[in-house]
Chains A and B, each alone.
Chain A
Amino acid sequence: KNEVEQSPQNLTAQEGEFITINCSYSVGISALHWLQQHPGGGIVSLFMLSSGKKKHGRLIATINIQEKHSSLHITASHPRDSAVYICAGQFNMNYGGATNKLIFGTGTLLAVQP
């Protein structure tokens, strides 16, 4: 069982829709990352958060530490938002004896249709 689970795996939306991608993790983390990857492209870091909520433009990320759950929301979605969105847990210092390494979810492939 992966320590980081994402849902849904695939998501198709119409332009303008509000989108939510969910992420759950099974052990304690020091931070939760949301990343974006276009097909064949590099990885862009969208958010890194350890509590509460962060907003950047039309993107909002929230995390609930008690429930070990995070969500990424996209408001007023646009075709250019089409990409793979990946959540990743940055695990505590004592986990596996290492700091800072990321454990990734399997990603959510988002397609926003015009």
Chain B
Amino acid sequence: NAGVMQNPRHLVRRRGQEARLRCSPMKGHSHVYWYRQLPEEGLKFMVYLQKENIIDESGMPKERFSAEFPKEGPSILRIQQVVRGDSAAYFCASSPPNFRQINYGYTFGSGTRLTVV
């Protein structure tokens, strides 16, 4: 039972390019969360998705950032026209459909380190 898979592990983009970060949740998990960790800062919530549905995007920057979790395939976090300030570690986590299943809480991926040059 593979854990949460994120790819790529490291991504380098030039300013103005697009970055696509992928996250495949654990088997049986239908909820996906994206978190960002800026250098020397703590983790911050970005977006919470279920299949084909964005539940909470209150942590997403208003422009250039979008996320999706299609019926088939991984969740994608897309950053258009990247700037140096987007350089960060982006972590994906997944959880089962019923958050009251306390024994099966969050599982985090290994993260994608985005560097904008």
Contacts and interface: CB of A to CB of B under 8 A. Distances in A.
Interface stretch (B12-20, B71-79, B99-107): B99-107
Interface residues on A, range: 20 to 34
A93 B99 CA distance: 10
B58 to A, nearest CB: 7
A90 B110 CA distance: 20
A60 interface: no
Contacts of B100: 30
A25 to B, nearest CB: 14
B56 interface: yes
Contact of A98 (B43, B44, B56, B105): B56
B25 interface: no
Contacts of B35: 102, 104
Given A31-B105, A50-B102, A100 B95 contact: yes
A113 B100 CA distance: 39
A82 to B, nearest CB: 18
A101 B33 contact: yes
Nearest to A35: B108
Contacts of B107: 45
Given A30-B100, A86-B42, A102-B33, 4 more contacts: A42-B108, A48-B106, A86-B43, A102-B106
The list of the 3 closest CB pairs from A to B, nearest first, reads A98-B56, A48-B105, A42-B110
Interface of A: 30-31, 33, 35, 41-45, 48-50, 86, 88, 90, 96-107
Interface of B: 31, 33, 35, 42-45, 48, 55-56, 58-59, 91, 93, 95, 99-100, 102-103, 105-111
8 contacts: A31-B102, A33-B106, A42-B109, A43-B43, A86-B43, A90-B105, A99-B55, A104-B43
